[in-house]
Amino acid sequence: MSKSKSNYKWGMVIDLDRCTGCSACVVACQAENNVPVVGEERSAEGRMLHWLRIERYWDGEYPHVRARFIPVLCQQCDNAPCEPVCPVYASYQTPEGLNGQVYNRCVGTRYCANNCPWSVRVFNFHEPEWPKPLNDQLNPDVTVRSKGVMEKCTFCIQRINRGKMKAKEEGRLVRDDEIQPACAQTCPPGAIIFGNMADKGSFVFRLSRSSRRFRLLEDLGTEPVVIYLKGGGREGA
């Protein structure tokens, strides 16, 4: 984080106490980012293209069973294992700490997907398809990816860029809360909070200092910037 000269360091906090597992974020992400629809059969084969998924785990023994939900998206690691293995630099680190993915550079070795411990990278096994009328509502700000390339969560980079451009026009930095990725914008209980970690006063930064904080697979040392807040208050840990 300290290496970056940028004013921005995008990060996310996901409060598992607030997450209800409603999957609105999954749908919002799909609509915002032109994620193709693959259908039931191909999903079962593991060809689904969701950039964001809700993992559901069962906790406890019957009858005291609780479902636990963890929304998992690209963790935008600072030491991302997906980046050095790409032979063509399709996967690289942006100055603002995102793991960029250049679709038209990607040759589809799928090495990055193997080396992502969260398995959040998805591969276009075939040309993208949308059932009618979804094909009429593609987002013009987002590239439609062709077959044979990898893709993954971008933190809605099109929204980040738009926000930065507006701020630049007005000669200021992006304000806290000004940029929202689709998932955070949609989340009904407000479990997903996005913002600038480089701004020590931002809401996301303050939340990220919580004593409930943890990161998924933190022991691998990849320094993810998606920070989870441990759930379990009411249910008892």
Partners of 15 in the β-ladder: 229
Q: Give SS3 for 161.
A: helix
Cβ 14 vs Cβ 6: under 8 Å: no
Question: Using the rule CB under 8 A, is 108 a contact of other proteins?
Answer: yes
Nearer to other proteins, 134 or 220 (CB): 220
Question: Site for other proteins (CB under 8 A): which residue of 46, 189, 232, 233?
Answer: 46
E strand spans, the chain: 10-15, 53-59, 66-72, 91-93, 99-101, 122-123, 150-151, 192-196, 213-214, 226-229
Copy the structure tokens of residue 2.
């300290």
Question: Using the rule CB under 8 A, is 113 a contact of other proteins?
Answer: yes
x-or-dash string of contact with other proteins, 116-155, rule CB under 8 A? -xxx-xxxxxxx------------------xxxxx-----
- CA–CA dist 26, 31 (Å, integer): 9
- Minimum distance, C-beta of residue 109 to other proteins, in the bound complex (Å): 5
- Minimum distance, C-beta of residue 122 to other proteins, in the bound complex (Å): 6
Contact positions toward other proteins, by CB under 8 A? Answer: 42, 45-48, 53, 55-57, 72, 81, 84-89, 105-111, 113-115, 117-119, 121-127, 146-150, 216-217, 220, 222
